[in-house]
Every structure is written in C-alpha cells, then in structure tokens.
C-alpha cells in the first residue's frame, strides 16, 4: 500500500493510529516502531474515512469509506458490518468518531451510530429528522450532563443520561445558521468550527473567537490547548495553530508544502500531524519536522508492473476509459533488496516533466529500463543511471489527441536482436517504431492497424500489437532487418472466422506463453492463436481459438462476457488472468480453473485488476489494482535445462509445521520423488516449472515419522538427475 497521504490520526497516549486514504498503520511514540496493516493482516476492507481510540477498552475504531467498521484490539481486527450492509438512499459518510464511557459515537450522513466497544456491536442510533429529511451529523461531543451534536443546520443538545436520545424530540437546537464541520473540547470548554471560523460555546451560547484567512481543516483537543489545523491553497502550506482561553491563539507551526488534515498530542506533549501530502509528521523538540511512515510505493495506482529476480517496478500513471492521460506525476516505484526507491517529480530530476508512465520493460541483459509515458513519449534509464528521453516530433509522430510535442506510448517489447519495439496511440501515420542497439530508429505504418496498444514479441521475433481503439490485433514480421521493409510481412486479426476469430475487436492485453502461443484478452473473453506463430511470409488464415473451460459443474467459452484486462504466464505455463471481477488462475491449456480470487475470499484490495506480473525466478505473482498492490506466493517458478542451485525450504521442517515444503531450482517439469532413508516411496509429484511442492504428508494422508528423507529429481529422459536430503520433525 501507499502511506503517503495521511488524513486521520488517534492516540492511546503512547501509540499513534494513523489512516491514509487506503491504509492503516501504527507508530510507537517511544521506540519509533512502525507497523503497517492491510487485508493480509486481517482488515475487513480497504479505503478509510476516520479513526478514533478508546482508552477504557484499548480499542481503535476504524471506519471505511463504505461504512464498514473494524475494531482493532490486541493486534486483532473485529468487524462490525452493520452500517455497511444497511440499505439506505445516498452515501454512508462517517465524519467523526467520539469516544465516551466505552461507546464510540459515529457522526454520519444518517445521524449518530453508537457502538458498544466491549460487546463489539451496535448499541443504538440517533436519527435527526427535520421536515421528513434525515440530517447529517458532522460531530458529537460531551460536556457536563449534555451531548452536543453539530449539523449543517446548527448545533443541537440533549441530556446524555436520557433514555430518549433515539427520539429526535429529546434534542434541542441551541444554535442556528452555521454549517459546522468540527467539534472538540478540553478542560470543560467546548469549541466548534466551520471551514473559516472558530467558535467557543459557553452554556449553549456560541461566540466567534477566530477567523481564518486560509481554511480550517480540523480542530482537536490537545494537552491544555486546542489544535487548529489549517491549509492555505495559495501557498500550498499547512499550519497548526495552538489556542487556549488564557492566551488566545498563541503559537503556530508552519508546514510548507504540506496539507495538515489533523493534529494530536501524545502524553509527553509531542505534536503529531496527519499530512495529506506525505504521511504522519512528528514535530521534534527542536522544532524540526520528520515523517514516520511505513515503506511502500509512492502511489496506490499500479497501472503496469515488471518483475524479475525480486526486482519489482511499478508504473503509477496510465489513462482512463476514454484514453485520456491521468496526469499522474508519481511515475515509478522500484522495490529491490527489500528497499523502495522512487522516480517521480521533485525526487528524480529527469522525471520533473514526465507524467503518466503507463508501460514498463527492463532489458535484463543490459540493465536498461524502458518507461513509456501516455503523454511524453519514451524514457530510458540505463544501468549507470544515465537517462535519455525520446518524444515527438523528433522520433514519434505528434499525437492527434494531445497535440504538438506529445507522444503516447502504449506498448513495449524486445526481440532476440536487442531491438526495442514501441507502439503508440493516436499517431496519425505510424503505429509501430523500433530502436536498434545502435540507437537507430525506424517507423512503420502497418496495414489494418489504426493505433497501437499492448505489444509482445514471439519466439520468431514477430511483433504482435493491439489497437486500443477497437481495431483488433496486428502481427508484423520484420524478417530480422528492421530498416529493410521489402522482405516484411504482416497480418491483421479481427472478429469473424477466417479474419482472426477474435472474441471482440476491443483488445486489452496480449501474452506469449511458454509454447509460443499468443493469448489475446478482450472485452469479451480470451482468444488463443497457435497457428500463426511461424514466421509470416504471406497472409494465411490465422484464426484464434476460443476454448471452452470447465469450472465446477459448468463449462463455457473462456471468459465470455468478461472484460479481460491482463494475462500473465507463470513458470508452469499456467495463465493468471485479471478481469473486472477479480483474478483467475488457469491450467496451461485453459481447460481448468485452478483458483479464483476476489475481494471476498482474498486480500485483494479491488476486484478491478489493472495488471498482473509473474516473477518467474521466485514464483511471486504481483497483482496491481487502482486501490493498491498485492503479491501472492505461487507454487510455480521458471524451470531450467539443468538441476542447479536447488534448495528446499523449510529444511529442516519444524514440528507442527502445516504449510507446504518447496523444492526449487529444478529442471523444467521434473519428476520428483521423496523417499525414506531405506528408499521406500513417501511422495511423488511433478514440478510446476522449476519448483515442486510437498504438503508434508505421505500417500496415505499421514505425516511421516521424524527423520532424514531423500529427494530424487530427474527430467523426462532420466538424464538430468538430482539427489538431496530433507529433515522432517514430526
């Protein structure tokens, strides 16, 4: 997840509980320990609204944007879904959380929802109904014997010990005509704010005490003071102002380039600020400010991914459904050696003028990274960190959508000669470009293709690229001579038998599998081309096959009616498919669905999948969405031609271990046998690519006795063999 946009914080006095737009994390103010949480750790949902903390029950209250609620206690999440599943007209906004006597008062668009934190359930609700219209409550606070609730129509009060609080008649309006956004109190003093003014309420009488020339974001109770968070849109600066009744507004903390959403103090008086532009800020005793955030990508969007050898690259840009650039300056995040590095405006000079990186490719032989922008052409980062940029009109045609000097790169691929192939969207004359290792460029106008899109290069060095505008797929054979077009050939595939037989002309993605078949993901399922992978010298029929897949008791055309957005191939030649309805893992021939993952049965942050990338060396599958990135440790890795660098883990297998045992580094699809020390067979399997998996049980379903076990592996010819040992503790 990305943790660079904090907009809410609560504290136990020692621990900070921080929410960003998508994520949640804690900070121990004493030792600085930071712990990040997501659906992997047990959170029920994604996308946050607000947070509160109850000292009596040691519970943090987390509210999601859809109204779902989690109670976080003792490092465990307890779900209270009542508001989420309640059927109402309109939104389920929760504006604030107030804690009183073990109850959490949620101020919402439908009134006040009270949660009993000890029982972890809804206790009661208060509906504010005026002229048969439900009125939103923006905040609630207790002072003396009264509860005060602020609304868009002023402030209301009621006796907090009344048994009639659910009856709106028990509430009395004590102030009118102000659209309050926040309420807070300390030392028996009550304060209210609109987006421009701060008020003090005394015995139900409201008086103005401060007028902001900027904008008030939030007010919070501090240690003997009120904390007023402000933001100046003109200077893009935040401010935290300190106020008490004795001194008035007596101090100010300026936050240049930050947007202060909320402020809070720990028991020792240290000030912490939720900054929407950077995460959680700590004000040190010398006045300096420093961020305390978990490591993660710079941006939550994962439009494209590249992964190989534990080296992950994320493109945060992209475009919308109308093919308009997203104007995302976050550009690229890189995760390598367990550390994050960012390539973005303000952090990496070469990216100061580049937006919307939408496609990535790395040349593993040279270490060169290619990044295509959907606005600014092609960016190249060499292994020595030197860079080049190629744009229009020097290399690419000017975009007919975005105008002079704009080039919209949509696809990248490398052939066996080291040539870089580039497809562009909205080019008036040329859809395909190639750059040789000598840095010589050639451009192509391909028959039948209007605009470029996703691109792959097959094992015969033929270039396949889709037209994002619904024009099908083109395959181009340059015959090993990019500059000589006299020996080139091409073929154009669209829907209809004899013309390509695509499930739809709207093509979203292309993938080449381990048998040199081309998988085509469309708005209406998947087509597989296996009879057009030989080098083209003419224009033969090249129809895609639309296979029938079995799922449970049902069978049908592969993803018919589904919008297939991404396809990735793992080391066992299985296909990972991302759609608008989650992730699917298919057997190599697509005859069977192995797994299906959604937000309901997995930690996926969203069912709308943008990109899937498989690290074939490790087997890790990276799944990118517009809500965040998740990885899945798969059972398949890329198999080699030899058994080398073989490892088994865990080894020894500890007592009580119920997970799987992996044996990796094998020859592709090796036959693997596990025997006891006397040679008696315990388990036999076939490797998925270069990795075999054992569930730790023998053929009878029992866990074997403790001892040393032998691993035997060989290829299909029995020539490439391996023998190893594994220690098992029962």
Among positive and negative, which fits the CA dihedral 711, 714, 718, 719? Answer: negative
pLDDT value at residue 541: 65
Residue 74: how many other CB atoms lie within 10 Å:
7
Residue carrying structure tokens 């080296």? 311
- Per-residue pLDDT tens over the stretch 449-479: 989 999 999 999 999 999 988 899 999 999 9
Strand-pair category, 260-265 with 226-232: unpaired
- Per-residue pLDDT of 472-497, as tens digits, reads 999 999 999 999 988 888 899 999 99
The CA–CA distances, whole Å, from 715 to 252, 645, 671, 684, 693 equal 72, 16, 6, 14, 16
The pLDDT of residue 199 is 93
CA separation for the pair 620, 430 (Å, rounded): 37
* Cβ-proximal residues to 534 (8 Å cutoff; 6+ apart), any chain: 460
What local confidence, expressed as pLDDT, does residue 437 receive? 95
pLDDT < 50: residue spans in the chain: none
pTM of the model: 0.86
Contact 226, 252 (CB under 8 A): no
Contacts of 530 by beta carbon, 8 Å cutoff, 6+ apart: 515, 517, 518, 545
Taking domain 647-728, whether its CATH number is 2.60.40.4070 is answered by yes
User: Contact at 8 Å (CB) between 413 and 455?
Assistant: yes
Structure confidence at residue 534 (pLDDT)? 66
- Rounded to an integer, what distance in angstroms lies between the CA atom of residue 677 and that of residue 327? 63
Q: With beta carbons less than 8 A apart as the criterion, state whether 332 and 314 touch.
A: yes
pLDDT for 551 equals 65
Chain center to CA of 88: 29
Place of tokens 């562009």: 424
- How wide is the angle at C-alpha 252 spanned by C-alphas 246 and 257, nearest 5°? 160
Q: 390 near 377, Cβ under 8 Å?
A: yes
Q: Taking Cα atoms as reference points, which of 311, 312, 333, 283 lies closest to residue 2?
A: 333
Residues paired with residue 69 on neighbouring β-strands, in sequence order: 63, 80
Strand, helix or coil at 39? helix
Contact 422, 435 (CB under 8 A): yes
Per-domain residue ranges of the chain: 298-390, 647-728
Residue with tokens 């080039």: 407
CA triple 655-657-658, angle to 5 deg: 140
pLDDT at residue 56, as a whole number = 94
How many whole angstroms from its chain centre is CA 399? 30
Q: What is the residue whose two structure tokens read 């009264």?
A: 146
Instruction: DSSP letter for 544, please.
Output: P
How remote is the C-alpha of 176 from its chain's centroid?
44
326 token code pair: 């997203």
Q: What is the pLDDT of residue 677?
A: 92
Q: How far apart are CA 434 and CA 425, in angstroms?
A: 15
DSSP codes of every residue in 265-288: E-TT--EEEEETTTEEEEE-TTS-
How far apart (Å, rounded) are the C-alpha atoms in residues 170 and 688?
68
Question: Which pLDDT score is estimated for 375?
Answer: 95
């Amino acid at each position: 997840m990305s943790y660079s946009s904090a907009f809410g914080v609560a504290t136990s006095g020692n621990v900070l509980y921080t929410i960003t737009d998508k994520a949640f994390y804690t900070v121990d103010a004493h030792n600085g320990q930071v712990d990040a949480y997501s659906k992997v750790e047990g959170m029920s949902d994604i996308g946050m609204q607000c947070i509160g903390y109850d000292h009596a029950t040691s519970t943090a209250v987390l509210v999601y944007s859809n109204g779902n609620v989690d109670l976080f206690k003792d490092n465990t999440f307890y779900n209270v879904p009542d508001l989420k599943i309640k059927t109402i007209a309109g939104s389920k906004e929760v504006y604030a959380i107030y804690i009183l006597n073990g109850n959490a008062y949620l101020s919402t668009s439908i009134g006040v929802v009270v949660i009993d934190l000890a029982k972890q359930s809804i206790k009661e609700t208060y509906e504010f109904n005026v002229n048969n219209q439900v009125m939103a409550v923006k905040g609630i606070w207790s002072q003396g014997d009264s509860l005060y609730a602020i609304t868009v129509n002023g402030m209301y009060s009621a006796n907090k010990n009344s048994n009639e609080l659910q009856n709106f008649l028990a509430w009395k309006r004590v102030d009118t005509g102000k659209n309050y956004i926040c309420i807070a109190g300390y030392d028996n003093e009550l304060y209210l704010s609109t987006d421009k003014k701060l008020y003090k309420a005394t015995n139900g009488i409201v008086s103005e005490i401060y007028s902001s020339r900027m904008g008030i974001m939030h007010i919070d109770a501090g240690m003997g003071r009120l904390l007023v968070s402000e933001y100046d849109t003109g200077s893009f600066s935040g401010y935290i102002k300190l106020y008490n009744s004795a001194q008035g507004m007596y101090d100010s903390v300026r936050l240049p380039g930050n947007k202060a959403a909320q402020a809070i103090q720990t028991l020792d008086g240290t000030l912490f600020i939720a900054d929407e532009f950077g995460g959680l800020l700590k004000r040190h005793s010398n006045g300096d400010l420093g961020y305390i955030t978990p490591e993660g990508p710079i941006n939550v969007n994962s439009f494209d991914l590249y992964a190989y050898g534990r080296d992950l690259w994320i493109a945060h840009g992209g475009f919308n459904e109308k093919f308009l650039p997203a104007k995302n300056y976050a550009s690229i995040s890189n995760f390598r050696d367990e550390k994050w590095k960012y390539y973005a405006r303000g952090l990496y000079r070469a990216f100061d003028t580049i937006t919307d990186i939408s496609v990535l490719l790395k040349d593993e032989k040279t270490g060169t990274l290619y990044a295509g922008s959907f606005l600014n052409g092609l960016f190249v980062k060499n292994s020595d960190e030197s860079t080049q940029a190629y744009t229009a009109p020097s290399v690419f045609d000017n975009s007919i959508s975005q105008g002079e000097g704009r080039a919209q790169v949509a696809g990248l691929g490398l052939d066996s000669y080291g040539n870089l192939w580039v497809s562009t969207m909205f080019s008036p004359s040329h859809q395909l470009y190639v750059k040789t290792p000598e840095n010589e460029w050639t451009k192509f106008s391909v028959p039948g293709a209007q605009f470029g899109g996703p691109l792959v290069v097959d094992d015969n060095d033929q270039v396949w690229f889709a037209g994002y505008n619904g024009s099908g797929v083109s395959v181009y054979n340059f015959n090993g001579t990019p500059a000589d077009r006299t020996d080139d050939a091409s073929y154009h595939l669209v829907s209809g038998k004899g013309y390509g037989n695509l499930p739809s002309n709207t093509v979203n993605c292309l993938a080449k599998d381990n048998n040199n078949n081309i998988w085509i993901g469309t708005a209406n399922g998947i087509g597989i081309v296996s009879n057009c992978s030989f080098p083209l010298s003419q224009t033969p029929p090249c129809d895609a096959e639309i296979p029938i897949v079995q799922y449970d008791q049902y069978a049908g055309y592969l993803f018919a009616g589904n919008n297939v957005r991404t396809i990735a191939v793992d080391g066992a030649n299985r296909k990972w498919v991302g759609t608008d309805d989650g992730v699917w893992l298919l057997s190599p021939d697509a005859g069977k669905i192995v797994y299906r993952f959604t937000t309901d049965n997995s930690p996926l942050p969203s069912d709308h999948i943008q990109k899937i990338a498989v690290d074939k060396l490790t087997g890790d599958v990276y799944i990118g969405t517009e809500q965040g990135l998740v990885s899945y440790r798969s059972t398949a890795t890329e198999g080699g031609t030899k058994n080398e660098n073989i490892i088994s883990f865990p080894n020894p297998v500890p007592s009580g271990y119920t997970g799987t045992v992996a044996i990796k580094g094998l020859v592709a699809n090796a036959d693997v046998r596990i025997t006891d020390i006397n040679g008696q067979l315990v388990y036999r399997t076939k490797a998925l690519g270069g990795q075999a998996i054992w569930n730790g049980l023998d053929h009878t379903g029992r866990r074997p006795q403790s001892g040393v076990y032998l691993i035997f592996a060989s290829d299909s010819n029995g020539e490439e063999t391996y023998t190893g040992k594994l220690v098992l503790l029962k």
